[in-house]
Amino acid sequence: MKEDKTTWRWRTRDWLALLVLLISSVGILLLASAAINSGSDDAKDLFNIALPVFATWVGTVLAFYFTRENFETATNEVRKLVETVTPTERAKGAISGIMRDVAATVCLRLSEDDGGEVSITVADLLEQFEKSKVSRLPVLADDGQPRYMIHESVVDSFLAKEEDREKAKEASLKDFAKAHESRISEGRGFVVVSESTSIADAKAKMERIPSCQDIFVTKKGESGEMLLGWVSNIRLAKKIQA
């Protein structure tokens, strides 16, 4: 069986290191013997000059091998530690630890006067999806409370059912939300949990609702609070299995 290049390189290095140690040891012994036996100042000076050179060679070889060994040991320990953290263990952590912070999330905020549900149209939703390159859009009240979770697929489905697609785009968010409340509102399109809720419990709450794919996180788990973060079903799966 042929050796791979990595194995060959390390074997060459091992032999080279052994050769350097051997030459250094023999050189030190010969110089020391010469200096002692001759008793001349020249021999002693030569010994004093050559000794640091041999010592540097030996020190370099030892440092290389012991540093590599320590690094490999540390790497193996870290790998073992990571492997021991199973998906079950990770699921015991707080949902806030894996949520996407609301400040880093593309959201649609409604105006204070009419909730924005009249002035915003389906066309505006499509534009937001296209501009932000997202497929899900959390909709928040002006004070940051979660209102809806709108999936692009739901909007596409809405338009596909209409004979006049362009006219359907003029429908207000209020009319769209009323027609699809069972798919975008709390308890249907998303669930709300507190920041201290475990990942496992949040996942279980979401999965109890058919077709629900999103978890909104607030301070105490109440929809009347400001949204802190959001976890999609895709992000949830990745974080548990990571």
89-241 to CATH, choices 3.10.150.10, 3.10.580.10, 3.20.20.70, 3.40.470.10 = 3.10.580.10
pLDDT at 162: 86
Contacts of residue 130, defined as CB under 8 A and 6 or more positions apart, other chains included, come to none
pLDDT interval class at 84 (50, 70, 90): low
Q: Is the pLDDT of residue 229 over 70?
A: yes
Bridge-based pairing of strands 100-101 and 229-232 is antiparallel
Structure confidence at residue 2 (pLDDT) = 47
Bridge partner list, 136? 151
pLDDT at 8 over 60: no
Report the range of poorest mean pLDDT among 86-90, 91-95, 135-139, 209-213: 86-90
* Number of Cβ atoms within 10 Å of the Cβ of 146: 26
In sequence order, which residues have a C-beta less than 8 Å from that of residue 110 and are 6 or more positions away?
116, 117, 120, 139, 140, 141, 142, 147
pTM score of the predicted model? 0.64
Q: How far apart are CA 154 and CA 152, in angstroms?
A: 5
Q: What is the pLDDT of residues 155-179, one digit of tens each?
A: 999 999 888 889 999 999 999 999 9
- What is the pLDDT, as a whole number, of residue 86? 75
